[in-house]
Amino acid sequence: MSNKNITINDIALSLSIAPSTVSRALNSSPRISEATRHKVLQKAQELGYELNLIASSLSKHRTGTIGLIVPNINQFFFSQAVSGIEAVTRENGCRLIIAQSNESLEREKEILRMFNSYRVDGIIASLSIETSDIAHFEVFHNKGLPFVLFDRVHYGLDCTKVVVDNYEGAYKAASHLIASGCRRPAHLGGPRKNRLFRERADGFTDALAKHAVPLLPNFLLSTDLTPTDVRDAMQLWMKQPEPPDGIFTASASTGLLMTRVARSYQVRVPDDLALITFGNEPCHEYTVPSLSAIDMPGYEMGSTAAMHLFRAITDPKSEKKLVIKPLQLYIRNSTHKK
Amino acid sequence: MSNKNITINDIALSLSIAPSTVSRALNSSPRISEATRHKVLQKAQELGYELNLIASSLSKHRTGTIGLIVPNINQFFFSQAVSGIEAVTRENGCRLIIAQSNESLEREKEILRMFNSYRVDGIIASLSIETSDIAHFEVFHNKGLPFVLFDRVHYGLDCTKVVVDNYEGAYKAASHLIASGCRRPAHLGGPRKNRLFRERADGFTDALAKHAVPLLPNFLLSTDLTPTDVRDAMQLWMKQPEPPDGIFTASASTGLLMTRVARSYQVRVPDDLALITFGNEPCHEYTVPSLSAIDMPGYEMGSTAAMHLFRAITDPKSEKKLVIKPLQLYIRNSTHKK
DNA sequence: TTGAAAGCGCTAACAC
DNA sequence: GTGTTAGCGCTTTCAA
């Protein structure tokens, strides 16, 4: 129980030099002789000195910590993004505080306040599904705190954003359904107040128009993408005189659930119903049939977001960009109609 | 760009009172009049004051932050545990720093040093698969830093541990295989240097012995549970004159992969081969057939671990416990032999 | 190149 | 109840 932590004063004392000299040595300042530098490092090692980041942060006015807000780390996309962000953060010698908004606006506000109290050097965020107004971000943004948004972004905030082309991805997915032989494709979409989901819906409808495939009534649904919404949607569709022969879901998890709901209706995938999702998860390989998807590059989006944040921290006047990451279509068995 | 942050001195100045009074008001100390308390709170609100946690931490000698080390947040079990830990941390008005060891001992050591520099108030950890020696933990433990380990624990560290009864769970799983009609059960196990995996292997073998089912040569494998190990194991087993008719895997992910590998051998699950895994993931419901599993209560293990950590932080002399959480057998289609 | 001293923003003795 | 003062451990002027 050698409870006490060694400080630079302890080193200074035992070497009969000034604490400031020790600090310079430890931070390999240019204004230090190689001899003392060596002496200090030696002694620090010997005494088991470890920097107190709290004290250092207080006097340096930067914490070397960045805050990350994600809706939910359980989702594969976000846990990939976290890994990408963590890697870059570490390369930059910084630390990461992760917090989950659990899709709650209130919680998001709390987290921002917490991060501010913590004096994080910058914030990376993917907005909660409830968030349509961003006044709570603007408060801190206006104080000069650097932000980067990714995936679930809001274009009203003047910061770098890392996104995918949702319209393009949805267009690809719908086109693939049509190419696979679907003539009555349907879309299970997210809330329309959310631009991201509007874009996915628009990509879907435009692809149909382009290929002269009619969009049937009730075949374009806007929901909150909950499990209940999935069941309700399927029920609605199965009641139609001619149900859909292909479904494009706006999220990965709803698509997965859809495979089971379809089975409960004795609908065969892909023969009766082709299925493709926006978002790709490991589980897509394990369903039977395996599930086609538009893959979002989570790790790359995360690492790119982090790189841009560090750029913004280093140079507050650096240009704010809109980075659009490529999407990839993964064709699996759920869209292999005979 | 009102860059400057308001401090208690600003409040003190504008109210012509002492900073310490402001501090007392803000922390609702008992030694403050209701009148000034109100006045201060009012002014703080007006000026947009936000506590500087860094400065507060430095003078209070506690940061209100706890560090969490997990091998990997992508695994469902761990992301559940994170949620449980986060919830309790929040209830206690504290913050959480999450770091992934990525199953690397080196990285684990780095993280510990980082957490120490950060002066976290306590650490919750689940050890990397490489970790068999815990000298790196003991250094900080001996300095009085409170620890709680969960799931991947090491019994050499004198701290509260939250685990499941691996032996019991494996015993249940193997017994279920036998009850389902398996006469040649096999086990794909983890590294034997790891007690957790030894216990799972032992539970398996003891269940066989108890039910007078012979353990055939090569039917008890100890591996690193990588995808390659899964394929190699299956290859080895399929080469036997009589391959296994039931497999119990020591992890959830290897079991999932096993379903696909089995399919590639034209082995029908569950008729030719029953399958059950230690660990349960959402994906288990989506495989065909759905996958039986021993479910580990991730969220509860996490929240319990956090509760014990806060107890240890509050009262350093509090008793170190070994908490054993119950396991549940989820019977699904992969073990329904006809 | 090194030292002395001030201060980051807050808390906690100790007075009054 | 409130003010005064002295730090927490480090960095950073400013001198020397």
Arithmetic mean of pLDDT over chain A: 95
Any B CB within 8 A of A99 CB: yes
Q: Do domains B1-60 and B166-296+328-335 have the same CATH topology?
A: no
Do A253 and A75 touch, CB atoms closer than 8 A? yes
- Edge-to-edge, what's the strand order for the sheet holding A160-164? A95-100, A65-70, A122-125, A147-150, A160-164, A322-325
What pLDDT was estimated at residue A132? 87
Fold for the domain defined by A166-296+328-335: Rossmann fold (3.40.50)
State how far residue A259 is from chain B, nearest Cα, in angstroms: 8
Q: How confident is the model at residue A185 (pLDDT cuts 50, 70, 90)?
A: very high
Instruction: Give yes or no for residue A4 having a pLDDT over 90.
Output: no
The residue of chain B with its CA nearest to that of A142 is B1
Instruction: Give the Å distances, CA to CA, from A25 to A32, A34, A35, A283.
Output: 6, 9, 10, 52
The Cα–Cα gap between B312 and A164 comes to 45
Nearest Cβ partner for B286 among A55, A95, A286: A286
Q: Which positions in chain B touch A99 (Cβ < 8 Å)?
A: 86, 96
Confidence of residue A85 (pLDDT cuts 50, 70, 90): very high
Q: Give the Cα separation of A71 and A99 in Å (integer).
A: 8
Average pLDDT of the segment spanning A302-326: 96
Distance B44 CA to C12 C1' (A): 21
Structure tokens that stand for B32 in this block:
């403050």
Which chain A residue shows the shortest CA-CA distance from B120?
A54
Q: Kindly list the residues from chain A whose CB atom is less than 8 angstroms away from the CB atom of residue B282.
A: 283
**Whether B99 and A86 lie within 8 Å, measured CB to CB:** yes
The predicted structure's pLDDT at residue B337: 82
Q: Which residues touch strand D (CB under 7 A)?
A: A 5, 7-9, 19-20, 23-24, 26-27, 49, 51-52, 55-56, 58-60; B 16-21, 24, 31-33, 35-37, 55, 58-59, 61
Domain ranges across chain B = 1-60, 166-296+328-335
Q: What is the DSSP string of A88-146?
A: HHHHTT-EEEEEE-TT-HHHHHHHHHHHHHTT-SEEEE---TT----HHHHHHHHTT--
For A54, the closest of B63, B82, B83 (CB atoms) is B63
Q: How far apart are the first and last CA of chain B?
A: 71
Residues of chain A above pLDDT 70, percent: 99
pLDDT for res B43: 95
Give the pLDDT confidence score for residue A169 in this predicted structure.
98
Q: How far is the CA of A22 from the C1' of D11 (A)?
A: 11
Are B293 and B260 in contact, with CB atoms under 8 Å apart?
Answer: no
Which tokens hold the place of B206?
């003891």
CATH number for domain A1-60, candidates 3.20.10.10, 3.30.420.40, 1.10.8.60, 1.10.260.40? 1.10.260.40
Distance A97 CA to D12 C1' (A): 28
The two tokens of residue A125 are: 């965020």
Which nucleotide does the CA of B56 lie closest to, via C1'? C10
Asked if residue A162 has pLDDT above 70, the reply is yes
Q: Rounded CA gap, A274 and A263, in Å?
A: 12
The alpha carbon of residue A222 and the mean position of all alpha carbons in its chain are separated, in whole angstroms, by: 22
A252 and B CB contact within 8 Å: no
- Report, as an integer, the average pLDDT of B136-151: 95
pLDDT beyond 90 at A337: no
Per-residue confidence (pLDDT) for residue B1, from 0 to 100? 45
Report the alpha-carbon distance of residue B74 to residue B100 in Å, rounded: 10
**Closest residue by Cα to residue B283 from A176, A282, A182:** A282
| Interatomic CA distance for residues A53 and B117, integer angstroms | 5
* Half-sphere exposure (Cβ direction) of B140: Cα atoms closer than 13 Å: 27
Å between A214 CA and nearest CA of chain B: 32
Question: B8: which residues sit within 8 A by CB, 6+ positions away?
Answer: B19, B22, B23, B26, B49
Q: pLDDT, tens digit, for every residue of B33-56?
A: 999 999 999 999 999 999 999 999
Mean pLDDT across B236-250: 97
With a cut of 80, say whether residue B113 has pLDDT above it.
yes
Predicted pLDDT at B314:
92
pLDDT for B208 beyond 50: yes
For A138-142, A244-248, B176-180, which range has the lowest pLDDT when averaged over its residues?
A138-142
Distance, CA of B40 to CA of B14 (rounded, Å) = 10
Instruction: Quick: pLDDT tens for B2-37.
Output: 567 899 999 999 999 999 999 999 998 998 999 999
Quick: pLDDT tens for B62-74: 999 999 999 998 8
Model confidence at A2, in pLDDT bands (50, 70, 90)? low
Per-residue confidence (pLDDT) for residue A288, from 0 to 100:
87
Interface probe for B, chosen from A49, A51, A54, A291 (most Cβ of B below 10 Å), is: A54
pLDDT value of position A9: 95
How many Å apart are CA B216 and CA B327, to the nearest integer? 27
Q: How far is A211 from chain B (nearest CA, A)?
A: 33
Contacts of A50 in chain B (CB under 8 A): 113, 116-117
Residue A1 in this model has a pLDDT that exceeds 70? no
Average pLDDT, whole number, for chain B? 95
Please tell me the predicted confidence (pLDDT) of residue B74: 87
> Where does residue B35 rank: exposed (0-12), middle (13-18), buried (19+ CB within 10 A)?
exposed
Two tokens at B267? 């082995």
Give the pair of three-digit tokens for residue A223.
């929901």
CB atoms within 10 A of CB A241: 5
- Cβ atoms of B285 and B279 within 8 Å: the answer is no
Helix pair A19-26, A8-15: axis angle to 10 deg: 110
